[in-house]
Amino acid sequence: MSVKAIHSRDNAEFRFLKNLAEEARARREAGLTLLDGWHLIEAALQAGLKPEKLILTEGVVMPAGAQALLETLPVLSLSEALMRALAPVKTPTGLMALLRIPQPAKTRREFAILLEDIQDPGNLGAVLRSAAAAGVQVVYLSKGCTDAWSPKALRGGQGAQFQLAIVEGADLAEVAAEFPGGVYAAVLGAEAALYQLELTGAVAFAFGNEGAGLSRSLQACCQPFSIPMPGRVESLNVATAAAVCLFERVRQTAYAGSGGRQ
């Protein structure tokens, strides 16, 4: 077991890690990110991704499953203060890992989402979590989207990132034009209701910025629909709207014809 201890904020390796924790650009340039907590590290391992390094607080109690990793990975030991500076939450778990950001897997691309300029990492993580649960295979993010591999987005996704092919900096109009099936966009007031769409076969959904919605230029590449809202509420947040749409595809693919009033 190879352990290196760091106690100073001026240490070059610590500064490198802190940049990874805070700067999308640093993550992009290095192709690396940080996973906080055993839950995420375990999800990465289960998806066949092995971290480059473990980072832990001196004296942290390691989960049983993590013990074996200690023998096979380089370990960096940080003081509590340094760990707090690195972790995305107030009460750090005491265990992080350095992960090489995976290239988007070559997968079937029959069920996709296009995300335009989503700003909040928590929202993005929540959308990815719903997408992974619903069986989405590939996610295209516009240049203006917050980084899918930031510690906060990873926390929100709870491992969803490891199950999806994630294409960042995509030209969404081009993606929509080349997609081999219907590309649908939720637009407030659109005439067609979600439940009237034919959502079997290859299907993509586009979701826009939390405040501004989808840009006109991307809307023009999509078939508009609306989510019917019987109540007196203007809109759903993007993660909720995405879940409702993605699971309607799940229903139509596997359960149409069963249950409910036909």
Can you give the binding site for a copy of itself, defined by CB under 8 A? 126, 129-136, 158-160, 163, 193-200, 227-233, 235-237, 239-240, 243-244, 247-248, 250-262
Distance of closest approach, residue 101 Cβ to a copy of itself, in angstroms: 19
Q: Which is nearer to a copy of itself, 20 or 239 (CB)?
A: 239
Contact 250, 242 (CB under 8 A): no
238-254 and 121-134 are packed helices; what angle lies between their axes, rounded to 10 degrees? 10
Q: Concatenate the DSSP letters of all residues of 147-162 into one string.
A: PTTSHHHHHHHTTGGG
Q: What is the number of helices (H) and of strands (E) in the chain? A: 10, 11
Distance of closest approach, residue 81 Cβ to a copy of itself, in angstroms: 23
Owner of token pair 């996704």: 157
Q: Which is nearer to a copy of itself, 80 or 255 (CB)?
A: 255
SS3 39: helix
Q: Are strands 182-186 and 203-207 parallel, antiparallel or unpaired?
A: parallel
Q: Which is nearer to a copy of itself, 72 or 262 (CB)?
A: 262
Distance of closest approach, residue 162 Cβ to a copy of itself, in angstroms: 9
Q: Which is nearer to a copy of itself, 35 or 132 (CB)?
A: 132
Report the greatest alpha carbon distance in the chain.
67
Distance of closest approach, residue 257 Cβ to a copy of itself, in angstroms: 5
The residues, ordered by sequence, that sit 6+ positions from 119 with a Cβ below 8 Å of its Cβ are 146, 209, 210, 211
Q: Looking at the DSSP assignment, which residues form a beta bridge with residue 151?
A: none
> Half-sphere exposure of 25 toward its Cβ, with a 13 Å CA cutoff?
0
Distance of closest approach, residue 229 Cβ to a copy of itself, in angstroms: 4
Q: Which is nearer to a copy of itself, 136 or 187 (CB)?
A: 136
Q: Which is nearer to a copy of itself, 49 or 250 (CB)?
A: 250
Distance of closest approach, residue 69 Cβ to a copy of itself, in angstroms: 21
Q: How far apart are CA 72 and CA 211, in angstroms?
A: 46
